[in-house]
């Protein structure tokens, strides 16, 4: 399976400000020496030596992750503002043709998880097909309501709306697993105000878990069959790690987790790769990479070789 990240911020889109860009340019200029600019090669080396937080950004779009399975099915986890970028990228892909089916799975319906949907260009093409999935029985109404007057000029349903054929699949409590092509998708309710659902996608012995907007609780650490089969031994766990430890203790009940608890959780369930996701909008790129360093230090003591990554737009993982 291939996993690509299109939106990784939590709560609200967070573009870089001009002051942040100016500060970055100043920080780069301060680092340059005469030797760094003598040739194309030295310039290249200099750029490669810059820290990740300075020579790039995690990006400002809200939650949207694409999973491509062995069958070539396009599975989209949440429709945050990153979905607009994904739609545009699909048009540029080699061998791209209209007439494809997109599977969009929703964790929940807070704005940062649905606001990209009205801007998903593939939804306006009449020969495409979109299958939506959610554990909320009313989700067709919830989604279409954000595309009504006075919130948006184009309706989602009916004449003049999305051109793609649409199907809405409600995942009732009896349907804990369903199939998309070659992969099996499972779900699990997590702790978040108003409710939220995590999903696992499994194929050929590999497992990816998308677990956003969750305040990890003691229940999630319980060694029972449900927890074990959902979380155990995943190859990739994409998890809400929005807060520092002190911020998490101030924001109990807000439905998000501290990064260090996410590390403990991944170690407990023997995860191979942990991806911090749903970044706090107030945290700069530099701060996010500092959290990663602290997380690696936190893991270090355990002797486990869990890999830790910061989700960023453009991150492309294969399992
Ligand atoms: Zn969110
Ligand atoms: Zn939420």
User: Would the pLDDT of 301 be above 90?
Assistant: no
Q: How far is the CA of 136 from the centre of ligand 1 (A)?
A: 16
- R_g of the chain, CA atoms, integer Å: 20
In a domain, 20, yes or no: no
Confidence of residue 221 (pLDDT cuts 50, 70, 90): very high
Give the CATH number, domain containing residue 246: 3.60.15.10
Answer yes or no: is 282 within a domain: yes
Residue 10 alpha carbon to ligand 1 centre in Å: 5
Q: Is residue 33 part of a domain?
A: no
Report if residue 69 sits inside a domain.
yes
Q: Is 270 left (phi over 0), alpha (psi -120 to 50) or beta?
A: left
Section 203-210 average pLDDT: 98
Is 231 part of a structural domain of the chain?
yes
Residue 37 covered by a domain: no
- Does the residue 148 lie in any domain? yes
Mean pLDDT of the region 216-237: 96
CA of 132 to the centre of ligand 1 (A): 18
Full residue range of the structural domain in which residue 180 is found: 2-13+59-318
> Ligand 2 centre and the CA of 71: distance in Å?
31
Cis peptide before 316 (omega within 30 of 0): no
Number of domains in the chain: 1
Ligand 1: distance of its center to the CA of 114 in Å? 10
| Model confidence pLDDT, tens digit, residues 50-89 | 999 999 999 999 999 999 999 999 999 999 999 999 999 9
Q: What pLDDT digit, counting tens, does each position of 258-292 carry?
A: 999 999 999 999 999 999 999 999 999 999 999 99
Q: CA torsion 261→187→128→67, rounded to 10°?
A: 40
Residue 31 lies in a domain: no
Q: Give the number of whichever ligand sits closest to the CA of residue 80.
A: 1
């Amino acid at each position: 399976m291939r996993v690509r990240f299109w939106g990784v911020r939590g709560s609200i889109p967070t573009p870089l400000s001009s002051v942040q860009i100016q500060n970055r340019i100043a920080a780069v200029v301060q680092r340059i020496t005469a030797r760094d600019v003598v040739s194309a090669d030295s310039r290249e080396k200099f750029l490669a030596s810059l820290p990740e937080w300075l020579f790039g950004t995690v990006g400002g779009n809200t939650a949207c992750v694409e999973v491509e399975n062995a069958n070539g099915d396009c599975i989209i986890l949440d429709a945050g503002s990153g979905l607009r970028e994904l739609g545009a990228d699909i048009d540029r892909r080699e061998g791209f043709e209209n007439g494809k089916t997109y599977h969009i799975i929703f964790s929940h319906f807070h704005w940062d998880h649905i606001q990209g949907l009205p801007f998903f260009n593939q939804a306006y093409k009449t020969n495409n097909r979109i299958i939506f999935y959610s554990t909320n029985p009313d989700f067709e109404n919830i989604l279409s309501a954000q595309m009504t007057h006075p919130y948006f000029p184009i309706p989602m349903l009916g004449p003049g709306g999305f051109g793609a054929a649409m199907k809405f699949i409600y995942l009732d409590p009896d349907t804990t697993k369903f199939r998309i092509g070659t992969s099996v998708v499972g779900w699990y309710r997590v702790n978040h105000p108003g409710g939220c659902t995590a999903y696992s996608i499994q194929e050929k012995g590999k497992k990816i878990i998308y677990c956003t907007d969750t305040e990890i609780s003691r229940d999630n650490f319980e060694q029972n069959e449900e927890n074990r089969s959902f979380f155990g031994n995943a190859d990739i766990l994409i998890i809400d790690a929005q807060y520092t430890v002190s911020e998490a203790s101030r924001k109990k009940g807000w439905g998000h987790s501290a990064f260090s608890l996410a590390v403990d959780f991944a170690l407990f369930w023997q995860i191979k790769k942990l991806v911090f996701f749903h970044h706090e909008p107030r945290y700069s790129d530099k701060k996010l990479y500092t959290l990663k360093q602290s997380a690696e230090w936190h893991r270090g003591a355990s002797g486990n070789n869990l890999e830790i990554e910061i989700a960023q737009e453009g991150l492309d993982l294969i399992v």
